[in-house]
Amino acid sequence: MPQTQTAPPPGAKWAFVFLWLFVMADFARPEDVFRIPFHFQLIFGASASLAYLAALVTGRVRLLWSRELTLVLLLTVWFTLGVPFAFWRAESFATLTQVWLKTLLSFFLLSQTLTTVSRIRKLLWAIILSELLVTCVSIALSGRSELRVGDRVSGVSAGLLGWNYFGIAVAHICPYIGALYVCRRSSVKTCVLVATLAAMMWMLVLTASRGGFLNVLFSIALTWWFVLRGSSRGRIAGAVAVLCLFLSVARAPDVFWVRVQTIWSNADVSGNDTVSAAEESTRGRKLLLDRAIMYTLQYPIFGVGIGNFGNINGTEVGRPDAWYSTHNTFTEISAEAGVPALLFFVLLLATVLGHMRQVAERFDGDPGNRELRLLARATLASAMSLAFGWFFANLAYDRYSYYSAGIAAGLWIFARQRSTAATFEPQSRSLIKPLTSTNLYPESV
C-alpha cells in the first residue's frame, strides 16, 4: 500500500510567516504607495528563504517535489542554456538573474510552505487585503496627473496595477473571493470581500482596458461555474459580483465606452483621439504578434534570448512601436526562449488544471473536505483566467503568473495527505494518470 505524505513539520512556520509578509508587500507595494525607499519584498523574501533553508538543513522540513516544481526547474534550465545564444547576452542574463530567479524563489517557497488549507487561506487573505488597500488608494488619488494618461487611470503602484495588468489581477483573485465567501460566514470578512470586489470593479473601468475587461468577464463566468453555482451562498455571491460589475460599467467614464466599442466596431478614427489611440494600439499589437511568430520560426530552439524581443525587433524594424514586448505571454516565451520552453510552460498550465480537477473530483460530496474542494476549483478557475490574460500581456517571467501554480502544488500535496494513492484515482478515463506512487515524483528527498 503506498504511503501518504505526513503533515508539514512545524519547522516551516517561520518561513511561511515571512512568505506571508512578502506576499503582502508584493501585492500592496507600500514603497510605491507611501513613497519610501525601503525594499520590503527583498527583506521579507530573504528572511523567508533563510528561515526555510535553516529548517531544511536542521531536518525540520523535507524537500517536497511536485510536477509543477519540476517543470518550473526545467524552464529555469532552458532559460539559462539560451543565454549564450541571445541577441543581447547581457540583457538576457539580467532578465534571468534579476527577474526570473526571483520568480523561481517565490514559486519554490509557495510550493514548499503552502501545505495546509489554513496556510493557503491565510495567503489568499494577504493578497485580497493588499489589493483592497492599493486599489482604494489608487481610486482616491485618481485625479492626480501622474496617475493618468489622457482620461485613463493607472494604479498608484507598479506590479499588477497598470491597465491590462490590473484586469489580470482582478480575474486572478475573483475565484478565490468566491471560494472564501462560500466557506466563511463571518460578517466582517464578508464586508471585506464585497468591498474588495466593488473597489476592483470600479478601478477596472477607470483603467479602460479592453483586454482586462474581457478577462474579468471570463473570470466571473468561470467563478460561477466552478465555485458558486453549487450553493445558495454561492448564487448570492454571483449576483453580488454581477451587480458590482453592472454598477461600475453603468457609471464608467466615456473613455471606457469608447475603447470597449472598438472591440466589435470600426469607429471613425479621425474624429476621436481615444478611438485613434485604441486602433493604433491594436495595430501595434498585431505587428508585435506577427514578429513574435516570425522569430519563433527563425529561432525555434533557444529563441532570441529572454528579455530580448523588444531589442531585436526594434533594431530590425526601426519603428518606435517595435521596441515593446510582445503583449502575449505565449509568444513571448516561444520567441525569446524557443519552442521547448513554450512546451514546458504549457505543460505547467496543463498540470495545474489536471491536478486541481482531480482534487475537486476526489473530494466531491465530502463535507469534511469541502474547503479543500472549493479551493481546488477556485485555483482551476484562477489558472484558466490567468491563461486568458496571457493573451493580452507579457508575463512569462513575472512571479504573478506563478502564484496559482504555487497554490496548486500546495493543494496537491495536502490532498495526498488526505487520501491514499490507491483510492485517489479519476472516476473517468482521461489523459491524466491516476495519482499513484508509480507516476508521481518522490514526495520528499
Q: What is the pLDDT of residue 441?
A: 33
CA dist list (Å): 241 to 178, 290, 374, 388: 9, 37, 18, 19
Residue closest to 204 by CA, chosen among 270, 265, 131, 277: 131
Q: What is the pLDDT of residue 269?
A: 47
Q: What is the pLDDT of residue 8?
A: 44
DSSP bridge partners of 153 = 148
Phi and psi at 152, nearest 5°, equal -90, 150
Q: What is the pLDDT of residue 145?
A: 81
Q: Is residue 355 part of a domain?
A: no
Residue closest to 2 by CA, chosen among 434, 443, 437: 437
DSSP 198-254: HHHHHHHHHHT-HHHHHHHHHHHHHHIIIIITTSHHHHHHHHHHHHHHHHHHHT--H
DSSP code at position 117: H
All cell numbers assigned to 416: 495526498
All cell numbers assigned to 126: 494577504
Asked if residues 105 and 49 have their Cβ atoms less than 8 Å apart, the reply is yes
Q: Is residue 416 part of a domain?
A: no
Q: Is residue 237 part of a domain?
A: yes
Q: What is the pLDDT of residue 408?
A: 96
Task: Kindly report the length of the chain.
Answer: 445
What's the domain count of the chain?
1
Q: Is residue 313 part of a domain?
A: no
In degrees, to the nearest 5, what angle opens at C-alpha 351 toward C-alphas 350 and 354?
85
Q: Is residue 390 part of a domain?
A: no
Q: Is residue 278 part of a domain?
A: no
Host domain of residue 193: 147-265
DSSP bridge partners of 296 = none
- As averages over each run of 10 residues, the pLDDT of the chain (445 residues) reads 41 89 91 81 94 93 93 98 96 96 96 92 96 90 81 76 80 95 89 95 91 93 94 91 94 88 62 57 77 95 95 84 84 97 98 96 88 96 96 91 95 82 42 39 33
- For residue 302, the one-letter residue type is F
Asked if residues 182 and 237 have their Cβ atoms less than 8 Å apart, the reply is yes
Q: What is the pLDDT of residue 280?
A: 61
Q: Is residue 215 part of a domain?
A: yes
Q: In this structure, is the dihedral angle defined by the CA atoms of residues 285, 262, 253 and 237, taken in order, positive or negative?
A: negative
All cell numbers assigned to 362: 476526489
Q: What is the pLDDT of residue 277?
A: 57
All cell numbers assigned to 250: 453603468
Q: What is the pLDDT of residue 324?
A: 80
Residue closest to 398 by CA, chosen among 323, 354, 333: 333
Q: What is the pLDDT of residue 418?
A: 78
How far is 308 from 200, CA to CA, in rounded Å? 33
Q: Is residue 202 part of a domain?
A: yes
